[in-house]
Amino acid sequence: MSNIKNIAILGSTGSIGTQSLDVIRDNSDLFSVFLLTAHSNAYLLIQQALEFKPAYAIICNESKYNEVKQALSHTDIKVLAGHAAIVEIVTHPEIDIVLTAMVGFAGLEPTIAAIKAKKDIALANKETLVVAGELITSLARGYGVKILPVDSEHSAIFQCLAGERFNNIEKIILTASGGPFRGKTLDFLASVTREHALKHPNWVMGAKITIDSATLMNKGLEVIEAKWLFDLKAPQIDVVVHPQSIIHSMVQFEDGSIKAQMGLPDMKLPIQYALAYPTRIKNNFKRFDFMDYPNLTFEKPDIKTFRNLGFAFEALNRGGNMPCIINAANEIAVAGFLADEINFLAMSDVVESCMQKISYVAKPTQTDYLNTDKETRIFAQNLIKQMPSKAYII
């Protein structure tokens, strides 16, 4: 039997997807690609398929099917289209790990299907755990599958917990870079542009998570993600702003000892750790040198200005479908900001209104999550239509 792990990458054309393929390319003795998926980027999907020769390539956007099919017609790669095809193929018996690197709520159904087919999940798509953390973690327990975090903070905590199986966590400390607008006032934020917001100081990522980092919603989503991954209560989760992004997060144990995982910001490391877990793979990534960073600094997050982080804690405390509501509201708000329909601060207004207006369900089923997501999106879209058009009052 071969020791090579067969990987399905959902969202292979994105920031995490392409970095995962870099890791796989460098470790072809350990990993091979079974499935690649993209939403609309047919060109890159074709290039990746020609290089990595997966058994399947799936393009979500059905209008791009012919282009992909034709380009791969001389190969053995099976080409499919549509979301339902992803949900079906992730269950294929030959897959060992499903890496969920698509963005947003779209990750939920394929992740559930993969867990039910007993696939280990390397989870980058944090929205899945935000929306339905209780369902996902109980399914994972029931089907005996591992959820291996790819998000750098959660990978850090996961690494700190190695060898600590019988020791209780007192709390975790999630670090946040603070994003491009750290220290800025509400007046300043009212007029920031999309281009400003898309410039993250430390990480190069997809557009949605980059905007989430600028509003601190990303940290809010990560707080909820951490609750489910590590079975924590809200008071056990602290957030500290650490602008250098060298300490990726920390765990404090019951004796007061704190373990931190550190390194230069590079998503390939957490991706590699998740795919090869529990083994560490030797690599030649650039090494951290303390002398280059004589000042590692820490600040309290400003939740008066960056209200989304407070909303996320509130959603965590209220539970039920509230995290699903903030996720859907935020996806629509970010899309609205990226389309120049609303200004930066209005994103939090959309989230807040949805939290107040969408029906609360205390014990949601999978169908409730789908309904809540749909209802919230429609409500948020209507809200945006009524907001003063276009963003910047300069």
- The contact set with ligand NDP (CB under 6 A) reads 11-17, 38-41, 60, 101-103, 106, 124-127, 151, 203, 205-209, 267
Distance CA 83, CA 105 (A): 12
**Residue closer to ligand NDP (CB basis): 120 or 222:** 222
Strand, coil or helix: 169: strand
Distance CA 140, CA 219 (A): 24
The count of other CB atoms within 10 Å of the CB of residue 282 is: 5
Nearest distance from C-beta of residue 205 to ligand NDP, angstroms: 3
Q: Nearest to Mg ion by Cβ — which residue?
A: 151
**Residue closer to Mg ion (CB basis): 219 or 307:** 219
Q: Nearest to ligand NDP by Cβ — which residue?
A: 14
CA neighbor of 216 nearest in space, from 345, 321, 385 = 345
Nearest distance from C-beta of residue 9 to ligand NDP, angstroms: 9
Nearest distance from C-beta of residue 124 to ligand NDP, angstroms: 4
Nearest distance from C-beta of residue 179 to Mg ion, angstroms: 11
Binding partner of 102, given Mg ion, ligand NDP, none, CB within 5-8 angstroms per partner class: ligand NDP
Phi, psi at residue 374, to the nearest 5°? -65, -50
Nearest distance from C-beta of residue 230 to ligand NDP, angstroms: 16
**Residue closer to ligand NDP (CB basis): 31 or 105:** 105
Binding partner of 41, given ligand NDP, Mg ion, none, CB within 5-8 angstroms per partner class: ligand NDP
Nearest distance from C-beta of residue 247 to ligand NDP, angstroms: 16
Residue keyed to tokens 């899309």: 335
Distance CA 135, CA 131 (A): 9
**Residue closer to Mg ion (CB basis): 153 or 373:** 153
Binding partner of 331, given ligand NDP, Mg ion, none, CB within 5-8 angstroms per partner class: none
**Residue closer to ligand NDP (CB basis): 43 or 253:** 43
Residues that bind Mg ion (CB under 5 A): 151-153
Residue keyed to tokens 């898309």: 198
CA neighbor of 212 nearest in space, from 324, 308, 100 = 308
**Residue closer to Mg ion (CB basis): 64 or 248:** 248
Binding partner of 382, given ligand NDP, Mg ion, none, CB within 5-8 angstroms per partner class: none
Whether 390 contacts 339, CB under 8 Å: no
Binding partner of 16, given ligand NDP, Mg ion, none, CB within 5-8 angstroms per partner class: ligand NDP
Question: Which stretches of the chain are assigned E, i.e. beta strand?
Answer: 5-10, 31-38, 56-59, 78-81, 97-100, 120-123, 147-149, 169-176, 237-241, 247-253, 258-262
**Residue closer to Mg ion (CB basis): 6 or 245:** 245
Nearest distance from C-beta of residue 249 to Mg ion, angstroms: 9
Whether 224 contacts 315, CB under 8 Å: yes
DSSP for 119-149, written as a single string: -EEEE--HHHHHHHHHHHHHHHHHHT--EEE
Binding partner of 17, given Mg ion, ligand NDP, none, CB within 5-8 angstroms per partner class: ligand NDP
**Residue closer to Mg ion (CB basis): 64 or 242:** 242
Q: What is the 3-state secondary structure (H, E, C) of 192-218?
A: CCHHHHCCCCCCCCCHHHHHHHHHCHH
Nearest distance from C-beta of residue 262 to Mg ion, angstroms: 15
Instruction: Give the long-range contacts of residues 279-283, CB within 8 A, separation 24 or more.
Output: 281/27, 281/30, 283/26
The residues, any chain, with a CB within 8 Å of residue 3's CB and separated by 6 or more, are: 30
Binding partner of 101, given ligand NDP, Mg ion, none, CB within 5-8 angstroms per partner class: ligand NDP
**Residue closer to ligand NDP (CB basis): 207 or 234:** 207
Nearest distance from C-beta of residue 155 to ligand NDP, angstroms: 9
